[in-house]
Structure 1
Amino acid sequence: MIGRMDLKSKDVIIDELDFSTMPGTNTAVLHAKYVKVPLRNAYQPDGPWEFCLTNHSRNYLDLKRTYLVFTFDITDTAGNFVKMDSKLLETSLSYAPINNIASSILKTITLHINSQLVYSNSTNHAYKSYFENLLNYSQNIKDSTLSAAGFFHDTAVEEFSSLGYQKRCEMVYNNKPVQVAANISIDLMNQSRVLLNSCNASLTVYPNHSDFLIEGRNLGDKKLKLNVRDVYALVHEYELTDGITNELEAALIEHKLVQYPMISTQVRSFYIGPNRLDAPANTIFTSKMPRRIFLGLVSAEAYNGSQTTSPFNFKPYGLKNVHIDYCGKTIPGRPLELDFENNKFIEAYVQMQEAMGHSRNNSTCNSISAEMFKEKGFTIFGFELSPVALDSSLFELVIQTNVSIRLDFKEKTPEYGLYCVVAAEFDSLVGFDQLRNPLLDAVAH
């Protein structure tokens, strides 16, 4: 007997038997091209580096395909090359740019459109980009596509034997310039809609200092310097047909607004002094509830820049409890009972992977194992505050609240203290009126 699982189930013809359906035809885009954008101001090693990405072009800018391209080398402070042992022995001198170097070079970024500020970050852009690349992508992506940005998958941070560290040593081993490129990871450029034509988009960048950007072993009293020799932007433009351009302009005049929904990632950090058993009370965000929060602890020495450490070495530091307070609620609902030395951490690891949507998923992962989370420099905690945190196609209801981070330790914090780096995601909206004036959503972060 043949029957349907349910009467509401409709008849379907599989694609292999469908001879009537044809692909659609592109009638909107005439041409697409990459354009090299040089510095608008005179080059200064310490910045600022300014770019005019559009220059009032009649073309439409494909924001997601905007890159900064750097050429750099590493020398001593006198400009001389420092030779490494060809075998990269553990006992010999070695050095490398820190992971994700193309994005880590960037300290602060501002974006102005038609002279109005639409994006400005704290000084933690390197952490924002590192969290995105580390947590979202698998090892295959990190070792292929992201290698253009100088990202190589580490199995252990600050360990000489890590293949990622050794590959980054090889980048600078031959005393030749290294070229890397990274997407500009800011809110408006992380969404898929193109930027309207006749906008003047100006990008201003300040770089991090060399102590933050270099990770070395057995350096002794040597001081190294990362020298950016050249920097330019690559933008991708669409030239549309006159018909679609006119229709878009007419729609803008009629509706008086075009909008760009997006996820805005805000990064904050706070200091935890030495010899403490808890973190000071810290209200990190004071406006609306985030969708997700990720946080990790790094030594104050590495956070402020030290050529013998990595700023991305996130450790437990004797943490016994971490939770988020907001709207009179606590996430998680009960305190995490952490004891890394006695292998009580798996709940935190599972929550981090669940917050990324990687658990029980055979199509994507971030290649962070439980062991790496425990003791290899990848102790990053993840919390879902929104019930639709993983669905970026939905807005969450706007809830006005303060968000606080609570941390308790079973042993005193180190002598020089710690920094807690916090990345939170918010729903955001940017609009443009018919005069191309940007309009930001009223609820600030």
Structure 2
Amino acid sequence: MVRYSWDDKSGKVTVHLREGVEVIYKGALAEILGFKGDTHIRSSLTIDNPMDIKHLHNLFVYCDIVEPHAVGHAKVPLIRVVTVKFRVNPRHYEDYYLHQIGHGLPVFRGGRGQRGHGIGNILGGLFRSAVPLLKKGAKALGKEALRTGMAVAGDVLDGRSLKSSVKTRGLAASKRVARKAVSSVTASSNGNKKEHSCECTKSELDLFVIPPTQTSTEKGQWIEYHPIANITDSGPIEFYVSGSSEEYIDLPQTKLYVRAKITLSNGDELPAGSKVGPVNLFLQSLFSQVDVSLNERLISPSTPTYPYRAVIETLLSYGSDAKQTQLTSSLFYKDTAGSMDNPDPLAADDAVNQGLKTRAAFTRRSKTVDMLGPIHSDIFFQDKYLLNGVSMKLKLIRSKDQFCLMSADADVEYKVVIQDASLFVRKIKLNPAMPLAHARALEKATAKYPIRRVVTKMFSIPVGNMSFVQDHIFLGKLPKRLIVSCVTNTAFNGSYVENPFNFQHFNANFLAVYLDGKQIPYKPLKPNFDPNSGGNYIRAYHTLFSGTDKMNHDEGNVINREEYAKGYTLYAFDLTPDLSSGDHYNLVKQGNLRMELQFQRPLTTTVNVVVYAELDNLIEIDKARNGIFPSDALRELQPNYPCSLVINLDPSHLPGSHWVAVFISKEKHGEYFDSYGLPPSTLSSIHTFMNRTCLKHDYNQRTLQGLFSNVCGHYVIFFLLHKNRGWKMETIKFWFTAQPDVNDQMVYEFISKYFLCIEEGHRNLAFGTQTAVSRGKRGF
């Protein structure tokens, strides 16, 4: 009645019908054959589109009319195995990426095996997993496979969802086969199977499976980039990596190479016996700040704490093997606990800092030392390739010589001379179909780069204090991990005689973090660092593992128990609900993070508390290779009056620096609102927009927000809500006090009470007739 033929050149199916026969094709079956949708045919025809086999790779045909014969481990009535061949087709890549953004066909994962969809999976899956368990029940397996496949096909013809049918029929078939398999296995086994435990086989028996073949990446090569300007003693070093239409960038493989030497301040060579050497992790300590830009948009925090981020990550992320091998490439030689502030690399062995002594040997008599290592910036710690056509710029700002050197020579000044610097970038050439697939997907969505955003803050405790309470370490979006450390203010700002990475305990005897008033951990840390009374601080030391997801794993760091109290005192807090630092996101939490630190005795020097925090963030790149920064979109915006605008001041740091608001009345009178009281001329694109769209404009001219909070978005909502209720600017400002902390708490409570909290980066603020919404996440 119905016959099918297939053209191997065009890939199209022809349906041959006898006279008087009609066929209706529906759902997934129609799509597989090449129809655009449900189709009713009454005569023979060639289908317009090529056949799409999707996940169907092997067809196992069983029938009771043949005698069972040996197949693998059993005898089954198998008539034929039809292998569906495939060719690498650009369409497959396009479908893959369209599936990721929620459109297009199901993901095509290659021709090696099934991944859980389609009729072929039922037939092939039952054959692979059940056959090794059956010896006398092979015929039953063949019947079940044929029965299930025909039932699914019938459901599809009746218009039922293929996915629903496969799930229902497959489950029923699995239960029937399992019952027969269990009875067979139980009869021939002396052991007992656990109740509710399913049967399985071992991967060691997959004797006919070979690894998949990677076809997306064709070639990769390292390219050396030199600074765009000559290197000077104190000026920044800048690199520019131009984007290519054919090549992607493997960001985690980016390496910084530096050749440097130490000289006297006048440039003369170091004399013999000079007591000077570099601080630990010298390659990273050379730079106080590293700015990373993509297509001229800054995506990294502009804070001068880069060496502390690098050292904390290195101390807590690597073990002893790495310390003795690969980390030495960055001149990491661990400082001797208890002798960190001894600045003399030539001191006696019982008092010398062995790490300083080893590092000083590389630079003695102004010898040149070369170093190679990673860049500690967010974008370089995620695994995805950077899109083609995106340029990258790095700006490395130098540290003071007093910060990155230690010396026991009184009244002698030194300097670090960087003789050469290079950036090694790995560029990747892909299968030509890949960029085309990405281009098609970018028409519908942005490229997503989930990152672990690191924010490093510093707070000072004056000399003589015995306690430190910081009410708003973070106000608004909360971090998922916190690492707290203390150094002297003198070392933090640079001193030849003090080690900037001497993380001292200063006889702290109480530390607790409070999240919206709830204490973390459940019991505060109360260490006792006094060696005369026992030196009990194991709970504090244990946070180095519980707070970094290393507890109860065969992992560690380079800090042992005895060293912890002698210059390596770090406190780590995991604030995630599942205590996991995996690849998944947790729900975004809003709140107030407060810290309390107490000391056994008054401080004898000013202490700087360094707070290292991690937050989940996302970088997005659109088809024009732009980050999602709405301030740039103002050039094209033609507002209708009245209008309310929510604008982000990007680029300043990732991803999104600060929210501001604009309200323009029917009379084209514009009011610019910045919670820091800055004018619109702060950013040229906003200033130009205000001049173009307003007959006159003014701004709030008053600082309302505290420097360490991130509730600027709350202020914006508060302002626009009341402007659209008819309030004047002066009336709105009247509600705020001269105390930023009080203002921050007020707007935070106002928004928490009257608005539903939505994950940042996915909220739409619609006030008035028009809104420009930033899709980036808020910064600080």
TM-score, L = length of structure 1: 0.92
Q: Please provide the CA RMSD for this pair.
A: 1.8
Is 1:287 matched up with 2:473?
no
Task: Report whether the alignment pairs 1:333 with 2:522.
Answer: yes
Of 396, 407, 410, the match for 2:600:
410
> Which range moved further: 30-39 or 326-335?
326-335
Are 2:264 and 2:414, in contact at CA under 8 Å, matched by a contact in 1? yes
- SS of the aligned residue for 2:329 comes to helix
4+ aligned runs moved over 4 Å, structure 1: none
Q: Counterpart of 2:257 in structure 1: which amino acid?
A: V
Equivalence for 2:233? 45
CA–CA separation in structure 1 for the residues paired with 2:580 and 2:358 = 33
Measure, in 2, the Cα distance between the counterparts of 1:170 and 1:12. Answer: 59
Alpha-carbon separation, structure 2, partners of 1:291 and 1:311 = 26
Distance 1:344 1:181 in 2: 39
**Are 1:177 and 2:360 counterparts?**
no
The answer for the alignment partner of 1:196 in structure 2 is 387
Tell me the equivalent position of 1:108: 289
Counterpart in the other structure of 1:158? 341
* Pick aligned residue for 2:549 from 333, 336, 357: 357
* Bigger share in strand: 1
Q: Which whole-Å CA distance do the structure 1 matches of 2:287 and 2:192 have between them?
A: 62
Match in the other structure for 1:89: none
Report Cα offsets for 1:261-290 as digits up to 9, x if no partner.
Answer: 121111011111111111253522223111
Aligned mate of 2:454, from 234, 250, 265: 265
Aligned to 2:154: none
* Count of paired positions: 432
1:28 aligns with 2:211: no
> Is 1:231 equivalent to 2:566 in the alignment?
no
Task: Give CA-to-partner distance per residue, 1:307-345, whole Å, 9 cap, x none.
Answer: 111100011112111111222222122222222103121
SS in 2 for 1:146: helix
Equivalent pair of 2:548/2:574 in contact (CA under 8 Å): no
Please, which runs of 5 or more residues in structure 1 have no aligned partner? 86-92
- Residue number in structure 1 paired with 2:574: 384
Contact 2:323 2:558 in 1 (8 A): no
Indicate how the Cα distance of structure 1 residues 158 and 23 shifts in structure 2: closer, same or farther if over 3 A, else same. farther
Change (3 A) 1:55 1:6: same
Q: Is the 8 A contact 1:272 1:280 kept in 2?
A: no
Give the Cα separation in 2 of the matches to 1:367 and 1:276: 32
Q: 1:63 aligns with which of 241, 246, 251?
A: 251
> How big is the shift at 1:75?
1.2
Q: Does residue 778 of structure 2 align to residue 443 of structure 1? A: yes
Aligned partner letter, 1:314: F
Aligned equivalent of 2:262: 74
Mapped to 2, the partners of 1:169 and 1:5 lie a distance apart of 64
Q: Paired residue for 1:143, among 302, 310, 324?
A: 324
Name the SS of the counterpart of 1:287 in structure 2: strand
Distance in 2, matches of 1:142 and 1:6, equals 49
Task: Map Cα deviations across residues 29-72 of structure 1 (whole Å, 9 max, x no partner).
Answer: 11101111111233332222221123445310011111221111
Structure with the larger RCO, 1 or 2 (CA within 8 Å, 6+ apart): 1
Alpha carbons of structure 1 residues 276 and 13: separation in structure 2 relative to 1, 3 Å = same
Q: Which runs of 5+ in 2 are unaligned?
A: 1-189, 343-350, 629-654, 656-775
Q: 1:252 aligns with which of 435, 442, 447?
A: 442
Instruction: Kindly indicate whether the alpha-carbon contact (under 8 Å) linking 1:272 and 1:279 is maintained by their aligned counterparts in 2.
Output: yes
Radius of gyration: which is bigger?
A: 2
Q: Which residue, 508, 522, 541 being the options, matches 1:319? A: 508
Which residue is equivalent to 1:425? 614
> What is the 5 A alignment of 1:92-131?
94-131=275-312
Q: What do residues 202-234 of structure 1 show as CA deviations (whole Å, max 9, x unaligned)?
A: 111211010000123x31222221111221211
Q: More helix by proportion, 1 or 2?
A: 2
The one-letter amino acid paired with 1:392 is G
Identity %: 24
1:133 Cα deviation from its structure 2 partner: 0.5
Please name the residue that 1:90 is paired with. Answer: none
8 Å CA contact retained: 1:70, 1:230: yes
Alignment-mate amino acid for residue 280 of structure 2: N
Residues 22 and 176 of structure 1: CA distance in aligned 2, closer, same or farther (over 3 Å): same
What is the rounded CA distance, in whole Å, between the counterparts of 1:225 and 1:9 in structure 2?
69
Matches of 2:590 and 2:563, distance apart in 1: 36
Instruction: Identify if the C-alpha distance between structure 1 residues 6 and 75 changes in structure 2 by more than 3 Å, giving closer, same or farther.
Output: farther
